[in-house]
Structure 1
Amino acid sequence: MPAIEDLPGQTSEARTFTSEPNSVPTARSWATKVCEGFGVAGDLLDTYRLLVSEVVTNAVTHSQSPDCTVVIGLDGWVEVWDEGRELPRKREHDLEAEGGRGLDLLELLAPGYQVLQDGTRGGKCVRFLPKVSV
C-alpha cells in the first residue's frame, strides 16, 4: 500500500513519532511544513505549531505508548493518536509551573476539541481545529 504522502488527491498527511522528548520539536517542524503546504500562514500557523507541540508533548509524557501518530487534514483538523488508555484531564498548576496548561490552551485556541477513545484497539485521539483570530 502506498504511503499517504504518495496518494493522488490527498486530503491529509500523517506521520508517526516515537515517544521520546526529542520527538516534540520534530513533530512541530513536520506539522509546520505540512500546514504551510496546505496554505496556512501567520498567526494561525503559530497556533497550529503551539497546539501540535502541546498535544504531542502530552502523548509522549503521559500515554506510556511507544509512539504517537499525528494526522493533519486539508480541512484543518489535527489528530494525535496514541495507545494510552488514560484520557487527558485538567490539572491544577502553579502560575510558575512549566506544565499543566495543555487543555487550557486547547479550550482557548481550539474550542470544540475532542478526545476520542478507540474501543476496539485501545488508545485515544485528541482532535482539534484551531480557530481563526478575528
Structure 2
Amino acid sequence: MYAETAVSPALSAIAPARHWARDRLAEAGVDDGHLDLLVLLVSELVTNAVAHADPPVVLRVHVDDERTRVEVTDGAREVPVVRDPPATALGGRGVMFIDRLASSWGTCEEEGEAAKAVWFEMRHADVDEVRRVSES
C-alpha cells in the first residue's frame, strides 16, 4: 500500500496528519500493537516538518510485507539532528524518538518543490522487539 497527502505547514495540521496516517496504516492491515508506535513516529516527523521546515510538506506512507516506510518532504535544506535534551526541556526529543525506536531513518534530497525527505522505516519484526523491551 502506498498513499500520500499534503500537510498544511501549521501546527494545527499535525493531528489531522496523524489521523490520516493511522487510517492508512489500519487499511493496510497494520495491527494495533504496531499501529500505536508507527503513529507516534509519524507525529514526531510531521511535527518537525511543520514547526521547523518550509512548505510544501507532504506525508507519504508505504507498507509492504516486511516493513513500513514513512517520509515527510518539505522545502527546507536543513536536516534534522538527534538531540538529547535535559529532562526539564519542553521539546527537542522528536528525532531522538525516531532514532531510538525506528529500524532505520535518514534524509535524502528531493527533486521539484521539495528540498528533502526525512524518512523512517520500521521492520514489522522490530516492532515486536521494541514492545518486548519496553514491557520489561
- Shorter-chain TM range is 0.7 to 0.9
Distance in 1, Cα, partners of 2:26 & 2:94: 23
Q: 1:104 to 1:92 in 2, by over 3 A?
A: closer
Number of equivalenced pairs:
123
Determine which of 13, 19, 30 is the counterpart of 2:20.
30
Deviation at 1:70, TM superposition (A): 0.6
Q: TM-score, normalised by structure 2?
A: 0.82
- What code does the residue aligned with 1:85 have? R
Secondary structure of the 1:129 match is strand
Distance in 1, Cα, partners of 2:33 & 2:73: 25
Q: Please name the residue that 2:100 is paired with.
A: 108
Deviation at 1:132, TM superposition (A): 1.7
Q: Which structure shows the higher strand fraction? A: 2
Q: Please name the residue that 1:3 is paired with.
A: none
Instruction: After superposition, give the CA deviation of every residue in 1:46-103 in whole Å (9 maximum; x if it has no partner).
Output: 111101110000001111x133111111221111111111110123422022211112
Q: 1:34 to 1:120 in 2, by over 3 A?
A: closer
- What code does the residue aligned with 2:128 have? S
Q: Please name the residue that 1:72 is paired with.
A: 61
What is the RMSD computed on CA atoms of the aligned residues? 1.7
Alignment identity in percent?
A: 33
Q: Which structure shows the higher helix fraction? A: 2
Q: Please name the residue that 2:35 is paired with.
A: 45
Distance in 2, Cα, partners of 1:46 & 1:122: 28
- What code does the residue aligned with 2:39 have? R
Gaps of 5+ in 2: 130-136
Determine which of 109, 119, 136 is the counterpart of 1:127.
119
Q: Please name the residue that 2:52 is paired with.
A: 62
Secondary structure of the 2:118 match is strand
On the 8 A contact 2:56/2:114 being kept in 1, the answer is: no
Runs of 4 or more, structure 1, over 4 Å off, are: 119-122
- What code does the residue aligned with 1:115 have? T
On the 8 A contact 1:60/1:67 being kept in 2, the answer is: no
Q: Please name the residue that 1:8 is paired with.
A: none
